[in-house]
Structure 1
Amino acid sequence: MALLKRKKYVVWAAAFGGAVFFSAVFAKQAAAPAQLQPTADEKKAARSSVILLKHLHYEHRKFNDALSSQVLDRYLKDLDGSRSYFLASDINAFQAYRLTLDDEISRGDLDNVFAIYTRFQKRAVERLDFVLGALEKGVGKVDLENHQVLETKRDNAPWAHNAAELDDLWRKRLAAAVISLRLAGKSDEDIGKLLTKRYQTQLNNLMRTRPDDVFQAFMNSLAESYDPHTEYFSPRTSENFNINMSLSLEGIGAVLQNDDEYTKIVRLVPAGPAEKSKQLAPGDRIVAIAQGNEDFVDVVGWRIDEVVDLIRGPKGSQVRLQVIPAGAADEHQTKVVNIVRNTIKLEEQAAQKRIVEITRNDRKYRIGVIKLPTFYADFQGMQSGDPNYRSTTRDVRRLIDELKAEKIDGMVLDLRNNGGGSLTEANSLVGLFIETGPTVQIRSANGDVEVMGDSDPSVEYDGPLVVMVNRLSASAAEIFAGAIQDYGRGLIVGSTSFGKGTVQSLRDLNYGQLKVTEAKFYRISGASTQHKGVEPDVTFPNIYDNTDIGESALQNALPWDTIPPARYLPYTGYSKQLTRLRLLSQQRQNADPDFKFLNAQITLADALKKDTVISLNEKERRKEQDELDQKRLVIENARRKEKGQELLKTWREAEKANDADGNPDTVDDPDPTAKEKPEDEAYVKEAGQVLLDSLSTPEVKVARSASLHH
């Protein structure tokens, strides 16, 4: 097949897309929430979405009663997946819509969609009123001496028949929360304050629900009834998606978080306007915002996305913030900060490099490691002719040049946790490591196959290469890893990848965008990654449960299949040495304290997962927790003993030693510059060791084979 003209596709796993789920949107106790109604724009967007789904989706599913029934079930699950709010009578009432939603949505009638949400909102307020009322009586009044249990896996539990049954469920949930916090060392006074704040915040958020929240939630229930990666983006979500793809935005460079009624600064983006101003700091709380010389707008009690909308703005414009400084003696002690907005580079998601040194046979080897969190491209900058636009391939090319100048002996490309992104970037990145040839095949719904490839004979890096993947490596990451593996250009190490083999395109609507699955991609060998993912050449411990994470764990995932292979010329590769390379790696893993630790942790986690019932007796739970802590301590001390480190007496000491987060309610953004844990670094070092093993194999050369695969 000829290499065809490239299209702009996005290939990103839904698990990393940041969808809105209403089970996290709840509520305050004062008054009934305002009646929500769909807007004219939302009605029109619904009609347009139906047309696009009918004609563009890969499956060409009929928009009929069968789909209507599926959409209703999905919507109810998205709203109340734990079956903790709706009553059986509510569910029975909703059956009237089961076979009519398809007709209603087609004509833009969203009344019943909003009616279902309104009922959910009412039930959620009732539940939160109940639990807040129970907390008002005092934590000491919660019964923790009974021998009841709480079933945590409730997706198939029967719907409650009346409020009394839900009261009983929520009493159990409250008891479980109190016990967990007592086991964490919290006093009853602190527990009462913490849980009251938690549920009150949920109540406040529910009261702030807007029509576009309801619309986006339902439209995603509709879209994901086709497949897990078809999604609706509201205008705000579209903006955030573009920011993530381009790695830039125009604003002040501050990471924000809700803190009761306030918006708190959690972190300042390095080299951003906020950090450069020296006037803001983490912990500052924003109380009002003004544009230039305009009047201040009070934002206490606002949703965080609304606050963000006021802070973002064009480069060069001024925004004024009235803040309560961190550590202020009282809430009336405020100051005004003037900041000029600028373009913020989100460097944390950009490709980054470092060098890992490994000593073997008295020689020190330098392994270049490039960490690639996502496949990004500034499409707007590219289209506008910006000579400095950001992209994965541009950044990696620059990093490779820097690493070559530092005299590396080999390279590890780390694609762990890379959820995908731009298909074009995955294709062009492969081109940095091969001469010419196809990289991926794309089959459209009508069966046409397009082959993307590299036509540039230049090679940026022709040395030894290892690519790291794990269960969270998806889409574009799988395209790259699959191509490198099919060519025999490098070794793939880690665990089986996500298994997403579908391609999405973004379609503009009058209100937001629709991300539609329009094609499937296949490796140049003809194999699909759908469901099966990319199998590593050398396996490392998998810390993720494949039954919970991955394409095969998602509802409505498209099936696996194959197509004929493309014509390509592979490199001599590593196929004859894989048995040896696997054996050497396994021997090291079996002897390595960090890998032993990981495998023991995985075994323990697998055992814990099987138990979905929680005791509501504090003494029993404390005994269970002590036993679990002892098991964890044994695992930790076994590692410390092998490393010659001091043994610990309690699991709490181990948590502190490992910088574990002992506060179950901490939601601050983690420090992206934080040092990796020893077990995380073990993966990188073992990838380097595998690379060195391959260097000692004389048959392995980075040269093209004499035989053409087709």
Structure 2
Amino acid sequence: MRKIFALALLFSVMVQAQNHEKACVTFSKINDLLQKRHFKPKPVDDSLSVYVFNTVMEELDKSKNLFLEQEYNELAIHKYKIDNYILNKDCAFLTDFITAYKKALQRNRDFIIEISNEPLPYETKDTIYFSKKTFPYHTDPQKIKSFLRKKITFDILEDVAQISRNKDSLQQHLEGLGKIAKQKILESYLCRIDNELSPAEGFENSIYNLFFSTFCNYFDPHSTYFNYNERASFVSSISTENYSLGLYVSQNENEEIIVEELVPGGPAYRAKKIDKGDQVIKLAANDAEYTVSCTSIETITDIVYSDSYKQVQLTLRKKDGTVYSVNLEKTIMKADDHSVYSFIVGNEESIGYIKIPSFYTAFDNNSDHGCADDVAKEVARLQKDNIKGLVLDLQFNGGGSMDEVIRMAGMFINFGPIAILTDKNKSYNIVKDYNRGMLYNGPMVILVNGFSASASEFFAGIMQDYNRALIVGSTTLGKATMQTILPLDDDEKNPEDFVKVTLDKFYRVTGKSSQYTGIIPDIELPTYFDDLLPRESSMPTAIKNDSIEIKLVFNRLPDIENKNIIALSKERIKNSADFSLINTINKRINDLYTVNKVPLPVTFNSVFTDAHSMDDIWKEINTATEKEQDFTIRNTTYATEILKHDEYGRNANDYKIKTTKSDIYIKEAINILNDINHIYKH
């Protein structure tokens, strides 16, 4: 028996050694690719080691309630050596991370089982602390158990508190509700740990992939590692059509799954129950139920988007705490559900409005459904209706095809340079618009916000530098780099490993760059949560801003009256109740999120107050963002005729009209264009 055990142990060690060897080969290939192709390659040195070590440890144990101080110190011997390991192709160090992480997870799992068998009083003398600074590691495992007990009790009370806003009723039934919540919370804790102990890709591979991605992120935040499945998921996400519930979800900072957007006319939209911002707490499909709190984001994404799950029941929680369920059946949703669309808006003059959700492109070269062509068609339709100004809405546009945005920029300038593209060798390629003339030569406003990124910033920068349009909104993300996905092995028929790598950087025709800083609008408008939005400048490895010495000849339009137009807008904003409300609410939000919370007693009263601290703010935000603005909106003559025979299109159109009509930024854009028309008429 001992021989069998010894042989089994030896076999396990041999397999792990082979896996580490393969991981080292992958590490080496990733490094070779990044050094050869990355826009700004970095040396593999102690700085890289420290970044990889700190980032991996943060990812494995964000709250420092998993590893003990001694375990951290044992892993910290690798902190300045990871660069040497990679260069020497010695990945034995990974064994220490794999062993320590598995041991720590198993220990916490045992603690949770112990806690589940112990009484948990709901009125305690415990206090839970919140801090922007990191806490030290525990030296005693029992301190970890003590914290877990306190955190589980807190989560149980919070779960009960979120059932309703009637505190007295909840308190009266706390014992019964707490029992239900306790079972749910403990199951969630165990489920999360079990998922971490047995991830779909395998425990060792999950650690390898974390190290690979972190290594890439050291070069810049947009370079990352993809295994085969991750790349396949990415390719699927840009498919022209697939089965869909008609909603988009994202994961917030609390690892909650939030409804990001509803697709007009889709299953979720037609249910008339789901709102943007609702939290998904449970999914049921194919005779299985998945609690979001312990299900991987990959599994959730698969259920929401994959055609393997045709009928799905969602259980969601609204911001006011209301929990409800809805049954949805997927339908085939085409990519043009998120394509360009237009309206005629305004009271004084007919103003054209075009929403550009992304710079999508036609993957079929014979197709004319790319973003630039769609914008051209909408502009032509608007001009037939005699518009006196044009709003291009790039709010929440995260970018897309640079080919599309280059073509689109050429529609709005006469001719000339558009941007400067440079690679790691500092060779400059001047991107030009060679087509003389403009598709539209009237006054323009471009709307942007903190979610406008990459290609959106590229376009806005061109229009700003040529003085072709006034840029209105809030500072954009600050990404002026371009990435591509490359296989690690060009020679392999079916490669399994890929890297999304940053190849190029864009500069504006002035030689300046919007990288890191973003596009600063000509007219800045307040927006909710603006100070808390993650921008390029908040990313520790982001490529910094710089300028290049280059002199390009381009015809900037005169801006004689711009100062007057900007002044009129600023005065209007200062006197606007809607914008004043945003500033007031932002101050309250910043007070809640940017300072350390006071220590919170783990009692129902305290937790209830904390759980509902944002309720009034959310209610005010929802009321304000749903309020109809005082401008008219109608379809183009072309769209009116088309919609007569398209029921699905009418449903989608109604949703688009509703969201457009309640947008105060569009209203201000209309006012600015009215000012321009008024000034230039006199």
Task: Find the aligned partners of 1:428 and 1:686 in 2 and give their Cα distance.
Answer: 28
Deviation at 1:578, TM superposition (A): 3.3
Partners of 2:450 and 2:533 within 8 A in 1: no
Q: Given the alignment of the two structures, is residue 141 of structure 1 paired with residue 121 of structure 2, yes or no?
A: yes
Partners of 2:472 and 2:525 within 8 A in 1: yes
Partners of 1:440 and 1:523 within 8 A in 2: yes
Q: Which amino acid aligns with 2:346?
A: I
Match of 2:535 in 1: 550
Q: Given the alignment of the two structures, is residue 450 of structure 1 paired with residue 429 of structure 2, yes or no?
A: yes
Select which of 330, 333, 346 maps to 1:358.
Answer: 346
Superposed CA deviations along residues 224-276 of structure 1, whole A, max 9, x for unmatched, are: 112212211222222333344x4525567777999xxxxxx999988999999
Select which of 123, 133, 140 maps to 1:162.
Answer: 140
Deviation at 1:489, TM superposition (A): 0.6
1:74-473 maps to which residues of 2 (within 5 A)?
74-106=55-87, 109-113=90-94, 115-131=96-112, 133-135=114-116, 137=118, 141-146=121-126, 148-154=127-133, 156-184=134-162, 185=164, 187-209=177-199, 210-211=201-202, 212-244=205-237, 246-249=238-241, 285-287=285-287, 305=298, 345-348=334-337, 350-355=338-343, 357-359=345-347, 363=348, 365-378=349-362, 381-382=363-364, 385=365, 387-388=366-367, 390-473=369-452
Task: Find the aligned partners of 1:637 and 1:250 in 2 and give their Cα distance.
Answer: 34
1:662-673 maps to which residues of 2 (within 5 A)?
none
Partners of 2:417 and 2:433 within 8 A in 1: yes
Q: Which amino acid aligns with 1:685?
A: K
Q: Which amino acid aligns with 2:499?
A: L
Match of 2:500 in 1: 515
Q: Given the alignment of the two structures, is residue 482 of structure 1 paired with residue 500 of structure 2, yes or no?
A: no
Secondary structure of the residue aligned to 2:129 is strand
Secondary structure of the residue aligned to 1:500 is coil
Partners of 1:227 and 1:557 within 8 A in 2: yes
Partners of 2:526 and 2:579 within 8 A in 1: yes
Select which of 591, 596, 605 maps to 2:589.
Answer: 605
Deviation at 1:526, TM superposition (A): 1.1
Are residues 412 and 444 of structure 1, via their aligned partners in 2, closer, same or farther at CA, if it must alter by over 3 Å? same
Are residues 322 and 504 of structure 1, via their aligned partners in 2, closer, same or farther at CA, if it must alter by over 3 Å? closer
Secondary structure of the residue aligned to 2:189 is helix
Match of 1:578 in 2: 562
Q: Which amino acid aligns with 1:120?
A: Y
TM-score in terms of structure 1 length: 0.71
Partners of 2:264 and 2:656 within 8 A in 1: no
* Greater fraction of residues in helix: 2
Match of 2:514 in 1: 529
Secondary structure of the residue aligned to 2:361 is coil
Superposed CA deviations along residues 658-688 of structure 1, whole A, max 9, x for unmatched, are: xxxxxxxxxxxxxx95886799611121122
Deviation at 1:628, TM superposition (A): 6.7
Secondary structure of the residue aligned to 2:665 is helix
Deviation at 1:484, TM superposition (A): 0.4
Deviation at 1:51, TM superposition (A): 0.5
Secondary structure of the residue aligned to 1:124 is helix
Partners of 2:450 and 2:477 within 8 A in 1: yes
Deviation at 1:202, TM superposition (A): 1.5
Deviation at 1:601, TM superposition (A): 0.9
Match of 2:642 in 1: none
Structure 2 residue runs without a partner (length 5+):
1-14, 165-169, 171-176, 251-258, 271-281, 289-293, 316-328, 489-494, 631-653
Deviation at 1:392, TM superposition (A): 2.2
Deviation at 1:40, TM superposition (A): 7.6
Task: Find the aligned partners of 2:555 and 2:117 in 1 and give their Cα distance.
Answer: 70
Deviation at 1:221, TM superposition (A): 0.7
Superposed CA deviations along residues 387-415 of structure 1, whole A, max 9, x for unmatched, are: 12643222322332333344433221111
Deviates more, 1:117-126 or 1:227-236: 117-126
Task: Find the aligned partners of 1:451 and 1:347 in 2 and give their Cα distance.
Answer: 32
Are residues 399 and 225 of structure 1, via their aligned partners in 2, closer, same or farther at CA, if it must alter by over 3 Å? same
Q: Percent identity?
A: 24
Structure 1 residue runs without a partner (length 5+):
1-33, 259-264, 277-281, 289-300, 314-318, 328-336, 645-671, 701-710
Deviation at 1:434, TM superposition (A): 1.4
CA RMSD of superposed structures (Å): 4.5
Q: Which amino acid aligns with 1:192?
A: K
Are residues 413 and 351 of structure 1, via their aligned partners in 2, closer, same or farther at CA, if it must alter by over 3 Å? farther
Match of 2:526 in 1: 541
Partners of 2:625 and 2:663 within 8 A in 1: no
Task: Find the aligned partners of 1:694 and 1:641 in 2 and give their Cα distance.
Answer: 26
Partners of 1:443 and 1:521 within 8 A in 2: yes
Q: Which amino acid aligns with 2:575?
A: A
Superposed CA deviations along residues 148-185 of structure 1, whole A, max 9, x for unmatched, are: 2312435x321222212222332333343234334323
Task: Find the aligned partners of 1:466 and 1:109 in 2 and give their Cα distance.
Answer: 56
Are residues 537 and 302 of structure 1, via their aligned partners in 2, closer, same or farther at CA, if it must alter by over 3 Å? closer
Deviation at 1:324, TM superposition (A): 8.6
Task: Find the aligned partners of 2:425 and 2:43 in 1 and give their Cα distance.
Answer: 16
Deviation at 1:597, TM superposition (A): 2.0
Q: Which amino acid aligns with 1:178?
A: I
Deviates more, 1:189-198 or 1:520-529: 189-198
Are residues 569 and 64 of structure 1, via their aligned partners in 2, closer, same or farther at CA, if it must alter by over 3 Å? closer
Superposed CA deviations along residues 260-319 of structure 1, whole A, max 9, x for unmatched, are: xxxxx999988999999xxxxx9762149xxxxxxxxxxxx9978579889999xxxxx8
Q: Which amino acid aligns with 1:347?
A: D
1:619-658 maps to which residues of 2 (within 5 A)?
619-622=605-608
Secondary structure of the residue aligned to 2:560 is helix
Match of 2:33 in 1: 52
Q: Which amino acid aligns with 2:574?
A: N
Secondary structure of the residue aligned to 2:675 is helix
Are residues 182 and 324 of structure 1, via their aligned partners in 2, closer, same or farther at CA, if it must alter by over 3 Å? closer
Are residues 447 and 45 of structure 1, via their aligned partners in 2, closer, same or farther at CA, if it must alter by over 3 Å? same
Partners of 2:464 and 2:471 within 8 A in 1: yes
Task: Find the aligned partners of 1:457 and 1:511 in 2 and give their Cα distance.
Answer: 46
Q: Which amino acid aligns with 1:205?
A: N
Task: Find the aligned partners of 1:62 and 1:323 in 2 and give their Cα distance.
Answer: 50
